[in-house]
Amino acid sequence: MATDTLVPLGEVTRRLRILGQSYVGMHTIPINRIVGSVDRAVAGNIYLWVHYKLRELRTIDRTADWPDAAAARAAEPVSRSHREAARRERRTPLPRRA
C-alpha cells in the first residue's frame, strides 16, 4: 500500500481490532505530548506557542498583545529535554553495504 493514501476508517478499526468508540469531547493536547513534535518549528506550531504565551501573559496583564507574547516566548530558554530530543533525532545514517 502506498504511504500517501488514506486508509478507510473501517479498515483501520478492523486491523487494530477496535471494539468500540466513544466521544470524549474536544480538549487541548500540549504540543510536547505529541510524539515527534519536538523541534518541529512550522508556522502552525509557532502560532500556537505564541498564542498560549499570550493567554498566559493576559492572566497578569490584560493589555498584553501579540508582540509582547512573541517577545516573551522568544526570550524563554529551550528546555534540556527538548535539546536532547532534537539531538537524538539527528542520527547518522547507517553505512552502505558493499
* Model confidence pLDDT, tens digit, residues 51-76: 998 999 999 989 999 888 888 888 88
Q: In the structure grid, which three cell numbers stand for residue 18, read together?
A: 477496535
Alpha helix positions (H), the chain: 9-16, 43-58, 66-75, 80-89
Beta carbons of 50 and 69 less than 8 angstroms apart: yes
Reported as half-sphere exposure (CB side, CA atoms, 13 A), residue 64 has a value of 19
Region of residue 36 (left: phi > 0; alpha: psi -120 to 50; beta: else): left
pLDDT band at 41 (very low <50, low <70, confident <90, very high): low
pLDDT at 59: 92
Domain range annotation of the chain: 28-77
Helix, strand and coil content of the chain, in percent to the nearest 5, comes to: 50, 0, 50
